[in-house]
Amino acid sequence: MADNKFAAYICSGCGIGDTLNVGAMEKIATKEGKMALVKSHAFLCNTEGVQMIRDDIANEGVTHVCIAACSRRAKTEAFNFPGIAMSRANLREGVIWVVAEGAAHDEVRQEMAEDYVRMGCAEVKKMIVPGGNVKESSSKRILVVGGGISGMTAALAAADAGYEVVIVEKAGQLGGFAKNLVKRVPFSGPYSEPQATGVEEMAAKISANPLVKVHLNSTVAETAGAPGRFKIKIAQLSDQVGGALAEELVGAIVQATGFTPYDVTKLTELGGGQANVVDQAGLEALAKSANGGAILRADGKEVKSVVFVQCAGQRGSGGNGSGQHLEYCSGHCCATSIKQAMYFKDANPEVDTVVMYSDLRVPGMGEDFYRSAQTKGVIFTKGKVNKVAGGGSCKVDFRDLILDEDTSVDADLVVLATGQVPNAGVNLDDWTAVVTLADGGDEAAKAKTVEMKRGSVLNLEYRQGPDMPQFKYGFADSHFICFPYETRRTGIYAAGPTRRPMDMLQAQEDATGAALKAIQAVENAEKGRAAHPRAWDLSFPKVRLEGCTQCKRCTVECPFGAIDEDEKRFPLFNEERCRRCGTCMGACPVRVISFENYSVDTVGSQVKAVNVPDQFEEKPRILLLACENDAYPALDMAGLQRLTYSAYVRAIPVRCLGSVNTIWITDALSAGYDGVMMMGCKKGDDYQCHFVKGSELASYRMSKIGDTLKQMGVEAERVITHEVAITDHERVAKLINDYAAQIQEIGLSPMKF
Amino acid sequence: MSDINSQAVARYKNNFLREVEERVEDGHWVKMCMQCGVCAGSCPFGPHWEHSPQKLFMMIRAGKREEVLKTDSMWMCTSCYNCIARCPRKLPITHIMHGLANYAYRLGLSPKGQPNQVIARIFWNNAIKHGRVNELTFSLAMYFKDGIGQGIKNSLAMQGVGLGLMKAKRLNPMEILGGHTCKDKSGIAKMLTKAREIEDRRRGLA
C-alpha cells in the first residue's frame, strides 16, 4: 500500500464555487481527508480539467482520486480513469441544488458540502481497484432447452449472431406445441386471415445451420457449474438408466420449455371428458385431419354448429367453470378461438360458429382479426357458461350477460379454450421442504427427492435445488416488472410460455430477448465481469474464511444461488453466478465478506467521516442509505428539479438495500446521528428490486433491529425504511423533510457526546 | 300475421340476423358490434328505451325476432347521432335504428299508435302530397290525430302561438286551401314509386 497516492479534485463549476467556499473544502480534504494532492478547478469535466487529473496520475503517481463535483451518475465518461480507484462527492445534485437558497442556509449548506468531501476522501482510501478475473477458458456456446417456437427462435437468433447453439428437445422432432397447429394467428397486415405456422421452415433452417446442434428425444440430466462453464449431461429418453450420457460444455442457458394445455378432463362442469367436447388442441387435431375440407367430429359427423367457450377453467371465478382451476388469463386463447372459428367459416360459411366470452382479449393487432371474424359471420356472445353437456348433440347452458337471462344453445361440437400450464420443473419451496425431511433421515422423503428430480427441467447441481425458482402460479422465474428475461439463476434465461402465458408472436420476441441476454452473459463471463444489472463490474466478493462462523446466512440469502458450500461447510462462491449486489455482505454477522471497491469499510468509513455536531448546536444529522438503482437517481432528479430538502441529511448510495450491514446503522447511531433512513425498491410479489430479494431481506433485517436499538437506548423511530421508485423525486424530498421534522419532534439523539 | 311477415318467417326460419342483414337498411353492420355499450351510454334518451341499441344488436344475434320488431325502442331515436359519432366500430347506429323501425312497420309489427311512428307517417303523407311539407296542414293533422274533440282542445291551446306566427308573417292561413306545391307533382309521385320499387326489390320485399 505504500505506493498509494490519494488526490482530491474539487470542481467550482455549475455554481458550486458561487455558493460554496471551495477554499474551505480544499483545507478539509488536505487536513481531515489526508489527501496528498488537493486541487480545485473551475470546470473539472472539460478537457483541461480532466487532463489535469490525467497528468497527475501519469506524473505524480496518483492512484486514488476523490472527485468533489456532480453526482456519481453524471459525467461518467469524462471522469473515467482506468486502473484508478475513484470516489465521487456529490456537491451539485446533492448539495447546491437541493439546499434552500439564501444566506440563512449558507452555514448548513457549507457543512453538508464539507461532510461530502470528508466522506469522499474516507471512501476512496478504503477502495481497491478490482482486478477482475479474466478466464483462461470460457465457453460461449448457448444451450437451448426446448425446441418449440421459443427455443427455435432463440437458437436461430443466437446462431445468426455467430454463437454456437445446442438444442435439447424432448420430442422426436422440432416444433413443440406449434407443430400440431393447422395455422397460426396472423403476425402481419392486414391481420384478417390465419397464417401458416412457419414451423417447418424454422426447423429446416436449424438443421441447415452448422452452428446449431440438436439433441432430439433428449432431456437435461444434469447442469453443473456457472455461466461460462456450465457442464451439461444430456440423457436420451430411450436410454436405459445408467446409459452413457452425452456431455456438452456451454456458457449460458435459455429455458424455453413451453407449456402444457390445462387438463380438459378436469373441467367436468364444462363437459370436459365428454364426447364432442374438445379443447383447442383437440380442435386443431380435427381441423388437421379435415385438411381444409369440412371438419368432422370424432364420430365422423360433419360439424354444422360449434360453440367456443372462452376462459374455460381460467381467470378464477371471472372465467367459465367452477373457478377452482387456473387463476390467470392465458392471453392467446381469444385470438386462437377466433382463428379456429375461421377454420369452420373458411371451409363452409354456413356453419354456425359462436364464441362465448366474458371479455374478449385480443392484444396487439388482434382487434383487426376479431373484426375479420365478425365479417365472416362468426357470432360473438357475451355470456357466462353454466353447464356444458356433451354427446351426440351438445348443449351449452349460459347466462347472456347483455340480455341478462339464462338461455342455451345447441351445437354439434363444443371447444373449451383452456389455459397454459407452464413446464417449469420442480417447485423449489416444495423441494426445500422435502430435502429438509430427507436430511433429517426420512426415507420416504429421500425417495421423493429422486422422484421430484425426474420432473426437473434443468437438474441443476445447485444447493438451492434442481430448477430455477418459480414465480407466481408456477411460472418460471422472471424479473417481471423491470427485466422480464432475468431469472434468479445467473446465465439461465427463461423465454416463452414457461415464463408467462403468451402467444407465438410474443414467444418469438421473448426468445430473441432471452438469446441476447444469453449472449451478454457468455461475453461478460469470459471477461470476468458481472452479469446484469452491474454488467461492467469487475469486483467480486472476497471472504476471509478464517473469520467465518459457518452461519450459512450468505448461502441462504443470496438471491441468485451463487454460493454453495464446500466439503467443510464453508461458503463456496461461484463468481460467475454472482450479480455483485452485496446481499451476502449485508447478511454476514461477522463482516468477513467485502468487495474490493465496496465494503463494510468503504461505507463504514463514510459514516464515521461525517462531522456530527454536539448536542448544543442543535443540528441533527440523518444518515440516508439510498439504493443506487432507484432511490439515488430519484434524489439526483430531485436536485435537477431544484426541489429542496433538509441539509441535515447525508446520503450514501448502496448497491442494494440488501447489502446494508446493520453495523453501519449501529455505528451511525453510536456516533450520534439522530436518524437513519433507508430507501430501497419495492418488495413483494410485484417487486422492483434489481436484485429481487435485496429490499425484502433488508426490510426483514430491519424488522429485527428493534432489540439492538433498545439495548442502545435509542428510540425505534430513529431507523426507518421506505420503498421508493425511480420516478419518486418529489416524494423522496418530502420523505426527507418529513423525517427531519419528525426528528426535531422526538429530539436529538441521546448518544451525542 | 301479415302476408309479408309470414313470408319472411318462412324464408329466414330462425336466422333473424340474416333477415336483418338482407332487409334492414345498414343491417349488415349488426354483426360488427363488439358489445362495448358506448351507444347505450351515449344516448340522451337512453333511460326511455326498453332495449338499448347494444341490446337490440345482441337480441338480433340471439334470434329474438318478435321482441325486436315489436319493441318501440328504435322509435325513440331522435337522430342526434351521438352513437354514430362515438361507436368505436363505426356502426351507423342511427341509420340501423331507423332501418329496423321502417322494417317493423312494413311487416305490420310495429307498436300501434307509437307517437313517433304517427308523426313520421303524417309527415310523410303530407310531404308526398305536394312534394313539400305544408306546415299548417301538418300541424293541424297532428292536433287532430286523436279525434275532433282533442283536436279542438289542442288548437285552442296553441292559438296564441298561431296568432303570433301569423303576425310575424311566419304562417299563412291561406295555406289551408292546399298551399303552394312543387311544379311536377305527378313526376315526384312517379319518382317515389320507382324508388320504392327498387328498394323493395333489393330487400327481397317485392
Name the residue facing A403 among B31, B34, B62 (closest C-beta).
B62
Whether the Cβ atoms of residue A151 and residue A254 lie closer than 8 Å to each other: yes
Task: Give Cβ neighbours of residue B117 (< 8 Å, ≥ 6 apart).
Answer: B75, B101, B105, B110, B111
| B16 and B101 within one domain | yes
Is A380 touching B (CB cutoff 8 A)? Answer: yes
Average pLDDT over residues A232-237: 91
| CB contact burial A537-552 (16+ within 10 A = b; e otherwise) | bbbbbebeeeebeeeb
Q: How far apart are the first and last CA of chain B?
A: 18
Do both B101 and B133 map to the same domain? no
- Check whether A2 has a pLDDT greater than 80: no
Distance between CA A160 and CA A595 in Å, rounded? Answer: 37
Residues from chain B that touch A371, judged by Cβ atoms under 8 A, are: 32, 89
Q: Which chain B residue is nearest to residue A376, measuring alpha carbons?
A: B31
Last residue within a domain, chosen from B53, B79, B110: B110
Task: Pick the residue of A403, A406, A408 with the most B CBs within 10 A to test the interface with B by mutation.
Answer: A403
At A12, list the grid cell. 467550482
Question: Between vectors from CA A147 to CA A476 and to CA A578, what angle results, nearest 5°?
Answer: 40
CB contact set of A583 (below 8 Å; sequence gap of 6+):
A554, A557, A558, A559, A656, A658, A659, A691, A693, A694, A697
Across A271-300, average pLDDT = 95
A-chain residues within 8 Å CB-CB of B89? 371
Residue with cell 425505534: A716
d(CA A489, CA A478): 10
State the best of B18, B31, B39, B54 to mutate against chain A, taking most chain A CBs within 10 Å.
B31
Judgement on whether residues B77 and B169 belong to the same structural domain of the protein: no
**Are the C-beta atoms of A680 and A629 separated by less than 8 Å?**
no
* CB nearest to B58's CB, from A360, A375, A402: A402
- The DSSP bridge pattern shows strands A230-236 and A218-224 to be antiparallel
Q: Which residues are CB-neighbours of A78 under 8 A, at least 6 positions away?
A: A45, A46, A50
- Contact: A377, B31; criterion CB under 8 Å: yes
Predicted pLDDT of residue A102: 92
Q: Mean per-residue pLDDT for A46-65?
A: 96
β-pairing verdict for A379-389 and A352-357: parallel
Q: Is A400 at the interface with chain B, CB within 8 A?
A: yes
Task: Report the alpha-carbon angle A220-A446-A233, nearest 5.
Answer: 15
Same domain, B49 and B13: yes
What is the CATH class of A542-594? Answer: alpha beta
CB contact under 8 A, A379 and B17: yes
Q: Mark yes or no for CB contact B35/A371 under 8 Å.
A: no
Q: How far is A489 from chain B (nearest CA, A)?
A: 44
Distance from CA of B151 to the nearest CA of A (A): 41
The minimal CB distance from B62 to the residues A371, A374, A400 is found for: A400
8 Å CB contact between A60 and A5: yes
- CB-based contact B58 A374, cutoff 8 Å: no
- Looking at the structure, tell me whether residues B161 and B131 fall in a common domain: yes
Please indicate if any CB of chain A lies within 8 Å of the CB of B140.
Answer: no
pLDDT, one tens digit per residue, over A446-462 is 999 999 999 999 999 99
DSSP bridge partners of A478 = none
Judge contact between B23 and B205, C-beta under 8 A.
Answer: yes
A360 has a chain B CB within 8 A of its CB = yes
3-state secondary structure chain B: CCHHHHHHHHHHCCCHHHHHHHHCCCHHHHHHCCCCCHHHHHCCCHHHCCCCHHHHHHHHHCCCHHHHHHCCHHHHCCCCCHHHHHCCCCCCHHHHHHHHHHHHHHHCCCCCCCHHHHHHHHHHHHHHHHCCCCHHHHHHHHHHHHCHHHHHHHHHHCHHHHHHHHHCCCCCHHHHHCCCCCCCHHHHHHHHHHHHHHHHHHCCCC
Q: What is the CATH number of the domain that holds B21?
A: 1.10.1060.10
Q: Is residue B202 part of a domain?
A: no
Could you tell me if B202 lies within 8 Å of chain A, comparing CB atoms?
Answer: no
Alpha-carbon distance of A625 to A119, in angstroms, equals: 13
Strand partners, A573: A563
Q: Is A104 on the interface with B (CB under 8 A)?
A: no
- CA dihedral A151→A155→A157→A163, nearest 10 degrees, is 150
CA-to-CA separations, B47 to A385, A628, B54, B87, B101, in angstroms, rounded: 29, 57, 13, 19, 19
Residue among B17, B32, B54 whose CB faces A371 most closely: B32
Instruction: Tell whether B130 lies on the interface with A, counting CB pairs under 8 A.
Output: no
Strand residue runs (E) in A622-716: 622-627, 649-654, 675-680
pLDDT at A240: 52
Cβ <8 Å between B32 and A360: no
Tens digits of per-residue pLDDT, A533-581? Answer: 898 888 889 999 999 999 999 999 999 989 988 899 999 999 899 999 9
Residue B180 within any structural domain of the chain: yes
Cell numbers of A245, please? Answer: 450420457
Report how far residue A174's alpha carbon sits from residue A200's, in angstroms, rounded to the nearest whole number: 9
Q: Does the beta carbon of A408 lie under 8 angstroms from any beta carbon of chain B? A: no
The residue with cell 332495449 is B51
Distances (CA, A) of A315 to A245, A359, A383, A507: 42, 11, 15, 21
Q: What is the CATH number of domain A1-129?
A: 3.40.50
A403 and B89 in contact by Cβ < 8 A?
no
The answer on B69 and B130 residing in a single domain is no
**A128 neighbors A597 (Cβ within 8 angstroms):** yes
**B19 and B56 assigned to the same domain:** yes
Where residue A45 falls among pLDDT bands split at 50, 70, 90? very high
Nearest-5° angle of CA A202, CA A203, CA A205? 65
A403/B contact by beta carbon, under 8 A: yes
Does B206 fall in a domain? Answer: no
Among B31, B54, B64, beta carbon nearest to A374: B31
Which of A371, A377, A402 lies closest to B35 in CB terms?
Answer: A402
Helix (H, G, I), strand (E, B) or coil at A212: strand
Instruction: For chain B, 206 residues long, give each residue's pLDDT as a single digit of tens.
Output: 678 888 888 888 879 999 999 999 999 999 999 999 999 999 999 888 999 999 999 999 999 999 999 999 999 999 999 999 999 999 999 999 999 999 999 999 999 989 999 999 999 999 998 889 998 999 999 999 989 999 999 999 999 999 999 999 998 888 888 788 888 999 999 999 999 999 999 888 87
Which among A379, A380, A402 has CB closest to B54? A402
> Domain for residue B83, yes or no?
yes
C-beta atoms of B61 and A407 within 8 A: no
Looking at CA atoms only, how far is residue B31 from chain A in angstroms?
Answer: 6
Same domain? For B147 and B93 the reply is no
Helix axes B16-23, B3-12, angle to 10 degrees: 120
- Which residues on neighbouring strands pair with residue A459, listed in sequence order? none
Residues B166 and B122 in one domain: yes
Judged by CB atoms closer than 8 Å, whether chains meet at A403 and B59 is answered as yes
| Residues β-bridged to residue A306 | A353, A413
| B36 close to A (CB below 8 A) | no
A379–B32 CB contact, under 8 Å: no
Domain count of the fold of chain B: 2
Closest CA to A453 of A263, A301, A233: A233
- Strands A394-400 and A405-411, bridge-based pairing: antiparallel
The helix (H) or strand (E) run that includes residue A395 is strand A394-400
How many CA atoms are closer than 13 Å to the CA of A751, on its beta-carbon side?
21
ipTM of the complex model: 0.87
Point out the domain boundary residue: B76, B91, B110. Answer: B110
Tell me the per-residue pLDDT of A386-429, one tens digit each, with 9 for 90 and over: 999 999 999 999 999 999 999 999 999 999 999 999 999 999 99
C-alpha cell at B194: 320507382
In a domain, B203, yes or no: no
Please check whether residue B38 lies inside any domain of the structure.
yes
Residue A1 banded pLDDT, cuts 50, 70, 90: very low
Q: Report the SS3 class of residue A397.
A: strand
Q: Are residues B45 and B99 in the same domain?
A: yes
**Which residues in A lie closer than 8 A to residue B63 (C-beta atoms)?**
none
Q: What whole-number distance in Å separates Cα of residue A180 and Cα of residue A183?
A: 9
The percent of residues above 90 in pLDDT, for chain A, comes to: 87
* Cβ A168 vs Cβ A234: under 8 Å: yes
Domain termination residue (choose one: B60, B92, B110): B110
A368 Cβ under 8 Å from any chain B Cβ: no
Following DSSP, what letter does each residue of A39-100 receive, concatenated?
Answer: EEESSTTSHHHHHHHHHIIIII---EEEEEES-TTSSTTTS--TT-EEEEEE-IIIIITTSP
Q: Is A370 on the interface with B (CB under 8 A)?
A: yes
The domain defined by A262-420 folds into: FAD/NAD(P)-binding domain (3.50.50)
Q: Which residues pair with A352 in a beta bridge?
A: A305
Q: Is A558 exposed, middle or buried (0-12, 13-18, 19+ CB in 10 A)?
A: buried
Q: Looking at the partner chain, which of B17, B58, B89 has a beta carbon nearest the beta carbon of A403?
A: B58
How many helical (H) and strand (E) elements, i.e. helices and strands, does chain A have? 20, 29
Q: Select from A69, A16, A74, A13 the least CA-distant residue to A42.
A: A13
Give yes or no: residues B31 and B104 share one domain: yes
| Average pLDDT of the residues in A578-606 | 95
Tens of pLDDT, residues A622-655: 999 999 999 999 999 999 999 999 999 999 999 9
Which residues does chain A have within 8 Å of residue B64's beta carbon, measured at their own beta carbons?
A: 403
User: Are the beta carbons of A403 and B17 separated by less than 8 Å?
Assistant: no
Range of the domain at B78: 3-110
The residue ranges of every structural domain in chain A are: 1-129, 142-258+468-526, 262-420, 542-594, 612-753
Helix (H) or strand (E) holding A730: helix A729-746
* Alpha-carbon gap: B28 to the closest alpha carbon of chain A (Å): 9
CATH architecture, domain defined by A612-753? 3-Layer(aba) Sandwich (3.40)
What is the enclosing helix (H) or strand (E) of A281?
helix A280-290
Residue A220 has pLDDT above 70, yes or no: yes
Nine cell digits for residue B143: 292536433
- Strand, coil or helix: what is A339? helix
Same fold, A142-258+468-526 and A612-753: no
CA-nearest of A533, A566, A532, A569 to A552 is A569
Nearest CB to B61; choose among A360, A375, A381: A381
For residue B37, the chain A residue with the least C-alpha distance is: A402
CATH code matching the domain that covers A142-258+468-526, chosen among 3.50.50.60, 3.90.1570.10, 1.10.8.60, 3.40.50.150: 3.50.50.60
Q: Cβ distance A476 to A236 under 8 Å?
A: no
Position A242 scores a pLDDT of: 57
**What's the pLDDT score for residue A328?**
96
Instruction: Give me the total of CB pairs closer than 8 Å, taking one residue from chain A and one from chain B.
Output: 32
Flag if A382 and B58 touch (Cβ within 8 Å).
yes
Does a structural domain hold residue B204? Answer: no
Place of cell 323501425: B101
Tell me if A396 sits within 8 A of A409, measured CB to CB: yes
Q: Between residues 42 and 81 of chain B, which touch chain A (CB distance below 8 Å)? A: 54-55, 58-59, 61-62, 64
> What are the distances in angstroms from CA A379 to CA A144, A372, B20, B31?
42, 12, 14, 7
Mean pLDDT of chain A: 94
Residues B86 and B158 in one domain: no
The closest alpha carbon to A417, from A537, A261, A523, A521, belongs to A261
CA A505 – CA A503 distance, rounded (Å): 6
* A379 in contact with chain B, both atoms CB, cutoff 8 A: yes
The mean-pLDDT minimum among A30-34, A119-123, A135-139, A470-474 falls in A135-139
Which residue carries 461525517 as its cell?
A: A610
Residue B160 located in a structural domain? yes
Give the chain B residue whose CA is nearest to the CA of A377: B31
Instruction: Answer yes or no: are the C-beta atoms of A253 and A146 closer than 8 Å.
Output: no
Q: Are A375 and B32 a contacting pair at CB < 8 A? A: yes
